[in-house]
Amino acid sequence: MLADQPDVPVDHPGMSMGPMLPEDLDQIVVLEKLCFSNPWSRSVFEATLISPLVYTLVQRHGDKVLGYLMAFRQGSGIEIGNIAVAPAHRRRGIGHQLMSEALRVATEEGRRSARLSVRESSTGAIHLYESFGFEQVGVSLGYYRSPPEDALLMRKNLG
Ligand SMILES: CC(C)(COP(=O)(O)OP(=O)(O)OC[C@H]1O[C@@H](n2cnc3c(N)ncnc32)[C@H](O)[C@@H]1OP(=O)(O)O)[C@@H](O)C(=O)NCCC(=O)NCCS
């Protein structure tokens, strides 16, 4: 159904990036369960899709969803709420492209900062964020459940 293709380079002609659409949700919900121990439910995605405060991005190959990102407009900044790439398609630059586009749009909108929370054991994600200049600004003790874990709070200035 998704992410079942062989290696697809990030610059492949069939690749495209755009907003999340209602018809993506079947694949997104499957991906979300694959990528997170506490996945967001379909109803959360449905609600966020119609919110003007949410900015969404999906990386597709044809009609297959390979990755997605959701960002929340909050005052003068954005909060990256969710970023995920299908396990079979990681380390090919998709996460980088999603984050790069989200930060570009946020900067274009005049946002001053980007924030996010990340499990302290998610070293791959932390490396990705650090490569964009995010820095740790705090810790939220016991923020996550299943399994319980602290969150690192990270921030980057924009503009
Ligand atoms: C985090 C995630 C989105 C990264 O997606 P990705 O497409 O594999 O990332 P990219 O290929 O664009 O990686 C860009 C850079 O990030 C860093 N990085 C990404 N994954 C990494 C890993 N597992 N280990 C170390 N560094 C990593 C590297 O610096 C990498 O550059 P390089 O490949 O040239 O070394 C993906 O691993 C994922 O979906 N993880 C599960 C969900 C998750 O934890 N999301 C974050 C929630 S806060």
Residue 1 lies in a domain: no
- 79-89: per-residue pLDDT in tens? 999 999 999 99
Which atom of ligand 1 is closest in space to residue 94's alpha carbon? 7
Would you say residue 3 has pLDDT above 50?
Answer: no
Per-residue pLDDT tens over the stretch 63-82: 999 999 999 999 999 999 99
Contact call for residues 112 and 76 (beta carbons, < 8 A): yes
Looking at the structure of the chain, the number of domains it has is 1
Question: Any idea what DSSP says for residue 41?
Answer: P
* Assigned domain for 72 exists: yes
In DSSP terms, which residues pair with 156 in a beta bridge? 114
Q: What is the largest CA-CA distance in the chain?
A: 44
Q: Could you tell me the residue range of the domain that residue 58 belongs to?
A: 15-157
Please report the atom of ligand 1 found closest to the CA of residue 90: 8
> Which tokens belong to 40?
């967001």
Side-chain-side CA neighbours of 159 within 13 Å: the count stands at 13
pLDDT digits (tens, 9 = 90+) for 88-134: 999 999 999 999 999 999 999 999 999 999 999 999 999 999 999 99
Q: Is 88 in the pocket of ligand 1 (CB under 6 A)?
A: no
Would you say residue 2 lies in a domain? no
